[in-house]
């Protein structure tokens, strides 16, 4: 019984964590081979709406491309991007 429990604990420890980074919620998604996804949905950082990248307006801020559902959301982001971009130091 103890050996079975040890095997189970070791198995869970080895399989339980894949140590991969979570994908960014914004920007153009890509496949594992690095090729871009032609049509994908991303979240508008201003209003939170899910939008198709191929139909959305975009803006690049600090080497990350952000997509917007409307010109209004695009302009709001462009005026104050720090308001909508997550601060990793917090």
- Decide if pLDDT at 45 tops 90: yes
Q: Rounded to whole angstroms, how far apart are CA atoms 22 and 17?
A: 13
pLDDT-derived band at 22 (thresholds 50, 70, 90) equals very low
Confidence of residue 17 (pLDDT cuts 50, 70, 90): very low
Q: How confident is the model at residue 37 (pLDDT cuts 50, 70, 90)?
A: low
- Nearest CA among 57, 32, 21 for reference residue 42: 57
What is this structure's pTM? 0.54
Q: Could you give the percent of the chain with pLDDT greater than 70?
A: 53
| Percent of the chain predicted with pLDDT > 90 | 27
């Amino acid at each position: 019984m103890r050996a079975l429990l040890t095997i189970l604990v070791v198995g869970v420890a080895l399989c339980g964590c894949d140590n991969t980074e979570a994908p960014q919620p914004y920007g153009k998604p890509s496949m594992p081979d690095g090729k871009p996804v032609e049509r994908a949905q991303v979240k508008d950082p201003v209003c939170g709406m899910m939008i198709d990248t191929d139909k959305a307006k975009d803006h690049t801020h600090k080497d990350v491309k952000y997509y917007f559902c409307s010109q209004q959301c695009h302009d709001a982001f462009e005026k104050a991007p720090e308001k909508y971009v997550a601060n990793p130091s917090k």
